[in-house]
Amino acid sequence: VRVNFDSVIRLVNLVGGVEVYSDRAFTARNGDTFTQGYNYMDGARALVFARERYAFAEGDRIRGQNQERVIEALIKKMSQPSQLAHFGAVFEAMQGGFETNMPGDQIAQVVSDQLKSGADWTIDRASVDGTGLMAPTYTYGSQDLYVMVPDEATVAAAHEQIAAVLAE
């Protein structure tokens, strides 16, 4: 699934907000503060949390982890029976706000299966590493921007982890 920023705000608000874990306390550039531990977030705060990078020495690496944390919180919230019972309305409200290669009938089957089983979801993460440098990019032409050159061994390991999950 691919969503844009407005869709994240709308989805988080549609499900009544989310509890997102932060492994550290920090203040975002806009002044929003987040404590270490779980933080309740509406859509706007979830987006600030997911986009912040300047508050961290590790910059984009922490931003990527925080984006994963928001997605994980959404999955946990949306897999609850009380949320799944209203999934049709949420799905309809989100039309045009996301892209997926998963057919609608398959999404409906996942929701139905979850309602029947009530099982907790296991969320696996894969991360790649690399070397950061300043270099021109396709989007910005000759302007140097921070980019990461991926470590191919970590890319291969992530591919293997994804393949293992898909094979289950």
The predicted-structure confidence for 24-77, as pLDDT tens digits, reads as follows: 999 999 999 999 999 999 999 999 999 999 999 988 889 999 999 999 999 899
Q: What percent of the chain has pLDDT above 70? A: 100
What is the overall mean pLDDT for the chain?
91
pLDDT at 30: 97
* Confidence category of residue 11, pLDDT binned at 50, 70, 90: very high
What is the DSSP-derived secondary structure letter of residue 124? -
Residue 160 has pLDDT above 90, yes or no: yes
Comparing 16-20, 28-32, 137-141, the range with the smallest average pLDDT is 137-141
Distance of alpha carbon 40 from alpha carbon 47, whole angstroms: 12
Distance of alpha carbon 86 from alpha carbon 100, whole angstroms: 20
Q: Which two tokens stand for residue 98?
A: 């996301």
Distance of alpha carbon 37 from alpha carbon 149, whole angstroms: 32
Distance of alpha carbon 128 from alpha carbon 152, whole angstroms: 8
